[in-house]
Amino acid sequence: MKAKLSARQENILQFIQQFMEERHYPPTVRDIQNGCNVSSTSVVDYNLHKLQAMGYLKREPEVSRGIELIGEGLKGTKRDIQSIPVMGSIAAGEPLHVPDAPAVAEESYDTVDLPSSLIGDRENMFALRVKGTSMIDALVADGDLVILEPANEAANGDMVAAWLDPSEETTLKRFYMEGDMVRLQPENATMQPIMVAAKDVSVRGKVVGVVRSM
């Protein structure tokens, strides 16, 4: 039998539930402090630890928004959640090797829980952790998760995970077909595009959403 929540813990849990309902991502400790009129972040941290110990949430203390509601903590929410496999990392900069996206996630992969409203009717979605800053002007920062749907075609301007055959590596860029060449364009004014022969590049997935790390 679970221990009874204190009034403050009830308030914090309800705040987290409402915050995630409205914004589809977790609050920071500072958000909770301000939203619940708590005296300090250490008091918030203490109560989050208690809520985690009682099975209402999971938390990654090193991550700014590393709160995930579980079990009893999900009661009272309207969120329809789907778990998406996190397949590895992708370079927003120089190319980086990542595995193929499987049709069904294997147990060895980490997952990220997302509202179904973000995913819609898409199938076999997967996520990649961004490394680098070449897409920073598109508000995709180092450490963010990009959510992709499997695809082997893209329209000009789509943000894609592009596979480069010669180096057997993948990079995150805007896709532009230019004759028999493909321009993989960064969203960073300080960086140059990658030009690749069309026969040597293939699209592995199109970005449909971003989960911020901060």
Would you please indicate which residues are annotated as catalytic (active-site) residues? 134, 173
Picking from 87, 151, 145, the residue whose alpha carbon sits closest to that of residue 114 is 145
Picking from 207, 28, 44, 18, the residue whose alpha carbon sits closest to that of residue 128 is 207
Q: Where are the beta strands (DSSP E) in the chain?
A: 57-59, 67-69, 81-91, 110-115, 126-131, 145-150, 159-164, 169-178, 181-185, 194-197, 201-211
**DSSP β-ladder status, 110-115 and 81-91:** antiparallel
Tokens standing for 150? 């499997």
Which residues make beta-bridge pairs with 96? 170
Picking from 171, 164, 161, 170, the residue whose alpha carbon sits closest to that of residue 192 is 171
Q: Where are the beta strands (DSSP E) in 38-144?
A: 57-59, 67-69, 81-91, 110-115, 126-131
Tokens standing for 180? 């028999």
Tokens standing for 115? 């509202």
Task: Give the other-Cβ count within 10 Å of 85's Cβ.
Answer: 21
